[in-house]
Structure 1
Amino acid sequence: MATPLRDTPASPLKTVAVVGLGTMGAGIIEVLARAGREVVGIDVSEAATARSVAALEASTARAVARGRLTEQERADVLDRVRTHTDLTAAADADLVIEVAPESYDIKHRVFRELDGIVRPQTILATGTNALSVTRLAADSARPERVLGLHFFNPAPAMKLVEVVSSVLTSPQAVAAVTDLAVELGKEPVAVGDRPGFVADGLLFGYLNQAAAMYEAKYASREDIDAAMRLGCGLPMGPLALLDLIGVDTARTVLEAMYAESRDRLHAPAPVLKQLSEAGLTGRKAGRGFYTYASAGSDTVVRDALTPQDGDALVPGRTVGSVGVAGSGTMASGIAEVFAKAGYQVVLAARSAEKAKAAKARIGKSLSRSVDKGRLSAEAAAQTLDRITATDTYDDFADVDLAVEAVAEDLAVKQQLFGTLDKVCKPGAVLATTTSSLPVVACARATSRPEDVIGMHFFNPAPAMKLVEVVRTVLTADDVHATVREVCARIRKHPVDCGDRAGFIVNALLFPYLNNAIKMVQEHYASLDAIDAAMKLGGGYPMGPFELLDVVGLDVSLAIEKVLHREFRDPGLAPAPLLEHLVAAGCLGRKTGRGFREHARR
């Protein structure tokens, strides 16, 4: 069981050798030296050793300029680092951290040579995130002293360190490196030996799904990345992240994961092989999914796949008024968004009381914006005046755009679209906000399927910038253009996708959440360890179990079932633990208990 480890005594590991001085090795050297360790950097390439020293000099100089180090402290840090091109320099090390290229043959050779160089009590740590720590340990002369120590890039900034034990690793070795990680200011999480461990075990499956989505031409690279940044609050989109990690590295990790799991979700998408073998390995090569200004640059430049400014769309239809069907949180938020943008809005609910309550909810939301200085009192009053609350869809007779935001039930939505078909004028655009149901099924409930499209807003609608624009095979071009134009006016970022389960965000998000549940179900890691790993190692704003409890376990299960039915992939089958919790009524925050206990609201 993986658990975060803290509050441990000072580590006796005073001299540390780092083998492999690429970006990760250079970062680890800086972390160790700034924490007072004597550091020996080793690489067969003199150029690599020189680059690592130059990187340390530049980084510490920046720290001095920002007031984070004094000149004397900087000099002390630099004095603690020595670099060599021969492994024998590790002879006096208490700990050796190997971060050589992700090749078993290379790592095995390093460990065998170290066996004949270091002292018997020296701990040997591999920085692999894909290869078997157990196999490396078994081939060593001191298997009980071999473990994994997986830092995240960039090592000076990222807090997570996964401490990886094999069945051969001694508890004393684990305790020693855990103590060291704490002294380095890191958050160590103890994990067992399986490819990807916790963070990468979840992350790379998600990245692979994104690569496959792009390869299938379901959505553009820009829309996939924007969807996950804006819809999930991630620091980078998945394809940009693959370029940063290295397409070849990602392929290696996935191959190792698939060799163990045999889960098709881990089978590397063919595009990863194609890019790798073409040398298009991401930023380090100057080209991967995107094209960069130069090798190693993070500046994306235009290429043949970059959307052209003002890419021709047919002219959209004129939209001056909007009808919003529904009275829940999402409907109220969408009505507020349109009214703020200057549209006349008709908010229709099933009863006058529900309609009145929905408008009152919007009023409270606008008041909060006024209190926070985001909106003037006059603008808030004008926004609320643009909203007409009603209990009949007959009042949609003159709207130019009708947006459905009722319960996520296909029969309910189809019935509503049948009604909208009758009451809305010819030429009105009919949009559904569904997050998981087929848009075309709503369209077929009308006599004008060409006028129907998906507009999937994210909750809370006033704050979230993303809208997934979902075309069916029947949607007219000018309807698509209309919705894109409306998104621009309401200051949302539209991403185009086809009408299939999960669209972009949910199709990538929920398999990741499901895999996190499987980790707990298999007793590989704890809730806290997984949440910490994804926040600290992946930059996620919330851990998967925090997010599941917020979304609702019943909602999550429903989406998982839809994805499984659509794609027929066994790896997408909902984790039994999720089904059991839902059956027990443990639905998350809304019931006071999900994966964790919550105070009832």
Structure 2
Amino acid sequence: MGIKTVGIVGAGQMGNGIAHVFSLAGYDVTLTDISQDSLDRGLATIRKNMDRQVTKEKITAETRDDAMSRIRTTLQVTDIGPSDLIVEAATERETIKTAIFEDLQPHLKPETILTSNTSSISITRLASRTDRPERFMGLHFMNPVPVMKLVELIRGIATDEETYQTMLQVVDSLGKTAASAEDFPAFIVNRILLPMINEAVYTLYEGVGNVRSIDTALKLGAAHPMGPLELADFIGLDTCLAIMNVLYDGLADTKYRPCPLLTKYVEAGWLGRKSGRGFYDYRGETPVPTR
């Protein structure tokens, strides 16, 4: 399967990063979202990040301009139907993702491959609600997409070998490394990472340490580049909670029970960096712990 055109659903943090790396790799990209503001912000972010790459001499100004010229935007999700490959990078809610694939279905080419950037939702279940479960895969990029080298490739139970091999080649063409995962809740990275973050929240909840001491302990004691609570704020506490609930519901094991304090922060709307407050308050010049 020759992949030349890529449709991306969602111009947010993940979607614009995915558009960035595909356009730099020479693919023609169509980016869609439900609001023009989101599309404009997404394009501005891509431009800013490519400008940074030019400044650091990772790419040339000509390469940046060529890549930007390969990205077009649309408010109509059906416009991306004729793409060779579609990457869904919408909100981490199964009902939304399913509705997007249902809207796209009548407009797809027979050979179009469908993928989801979901970090935890069952690929088999998403695929079963389309007309092409054999050409459906999980394509989970890490955040920030232009920087992180890993892509999790998740095969659903019906994914065929040709689709898998094609997506291996696509990931390689982006200059990234694929880690193949089986379709079980949260796959590999989040199956390991999110319980660690949840345990850090329990450590805070139980008073074992405060925000700063917990993050300092993991940064200096385990050589993590970011502390777990700082990382949770970066990911988004609502996303962390959603993934923990997927693990808890999907594996029926109490060790995955989301910490009540994590739930409380999400209920308060303190979602981390994107809302201005989470385990740190970001509204001043420097982040300040909230506990």
TM-score (norm 2): 0.97
Please give the per-residue CA displacement for 1:143-169, whole angstroms capped at 9, x wherever unaligned: 111110000000001011010001111
Please give the per-residue CA displacement for 1:528-561, whole angstroms capped at 9, x wherever unaligned: xxxxxxxxxxxxxxxxxxxxxxxxxxxxxxxxxx
Find 1:29's aligned residue among 1, 19, 37: 19
Distance 1:51 1:175 in 2: 34
Find 1:133's aligned residue among 123, 142, 149: 123
Deviation at 1:264, TM superposition (A): 1.7
Matches within 5 A, 1:82-93: 82-93=72-83
Q: Is the 8 A contact 2:212 2:289 kept in 1?
A: no
Distance 1:167 1:65 in 2: 44
Paired position in structure 1 for 2:288: 301
Deviation at 1:65, TM superposition (A): 2.5
Greater RCO (Cα-Cα under 8 Å, separation 6 or more) = 2
Q: Is the 8 A contact 2:88 2:116 kept in 1?
A: yes
Distance 1:62 1:249 in 2: 27
Paired position in structure 2 for 1:64: 54
Q: Is the 8 A contact 1:115 1:142 kept in 2?
A: no
Find 1:153's aligned residue among 135, 140, 143: 143
Deviates more, 1:63-72 or 1:79-88: 63-72
Specify the structure having the higher radius of gyration (Cα).
Answer: 1
Say whether 1:258 aligns with 2:248: yes
Distance 2:239 2:170 in 1: 27
Find 1:110's aligned residue among 85, 100, 106: 100
Q: Runs of 4+ in structure 1 displaced over 4 angstroms?
A: none
Paired position in structure 2 for 1:286: 276
Which amino acid in structure 2 is aligned with residue 204 of structure 1? L
Which amino acid in structure 2 is aligned with residue 269 of structure 1? C
Which amino acid in structure 2 is aligned with residue 212 of structure 1? Y
Count of residues in correspondence between the two structures:
291
Find 2:4's aligned residue among 8, 14, 20: 14
Deviation at 1:69, TM superposition (A): 2.5
Matches within 5 A, 1:175-186: 175-186=165-176
Which amino acid in structure 2 is aligned with residue 161 of structure 1? V
User: Which residues of structure 2 form unaligned runs of 5+?
Assistant: none
SS in 2 for 1:189: strand
Deviation at 1:73, TM superposition (A): 1.7
Distance 2:218 2:65 in 1: 43
Distance 2:229 2:81 in 1: 42
Distance 2:210 2:203 in 1: 9
CA RMSD of aligned residues (A): 1.4
Paired position in structure 1 for 2:229: 239
Paired position in structure 1 for 2:163: 173
Q: Is the 8 A contact 1:161 1:186 kept in 2?
A: yes
Paired position in structure 2 for 1:94: 84
Which amino acid in structure 1 is aligned with residue 181 of structure 2? V
Deviation at 1:67, TM superposition (A): 2.5
TM-score (norm 1): 0.47
Paired position in structure 2 for 1:193: 183
Say whether 1:271 aligns with 2:261: yes
Matches within 5 A, 1:70-81: 70-81=60-71
Please give the per-residue CA displacement for 1:15-47, whole angstroms capped at 9, x wherever unaligned: 111101101111111100111110110101111
Deviation at 1:176, TM superposition (A): 0.8
Distance 1:227 1:302 in 2: 15
Distance 2:288 2:212 in 1: 13
Deviation at 1:62, TM superposition (A): 2.2
SS in 2 for 1:149: strand
Distance 1:71 1:102 in 2: 34
Which amino acid in structure 1 is aligned with residue 64 of structure 2? R
Distance 1:20 1:237 in 2: 28
Distance 2:68 2:25 in 1: 12
Distance 1:36 1:236 in 2: 33
Distance 2:170 2:107 in 1: 22
User: Which residues of structure 1 form unaligned runs of 5+?
Assistant: 1-10, 306-601
Deviation at 1:302, TM superposition (A): 6.1
Please give the per-residue CA displacement for 1:159-209, whole angstroms capped at 9, x wherever unaligned: 110100011111111111110001101110111111110111001111111
Q: Is the 8 A contact 2:211 2:289 kept in 1?
A: no
Matches within 5 A, 1:498-537: none
SS in 1 for 2:152: strand
Please give the per-residue CA displacement for 1:75-113, whole angstroms capped at 9, x wherever unaligned: 211110001111122122100000100001100000111
Distance 1:163 1:64 in 2: 29
Distance 2:157 2:54 in 1: 44
Q: Is the 8 A contact 1:134 1:168 kept in 2?
A: yes
Which amino acid in structure 2 is aligned with residue 301 of structure 1? V
Distance 1:71 1:199 in 2: 34
Say whether 1:144 aligns with 2:144: no
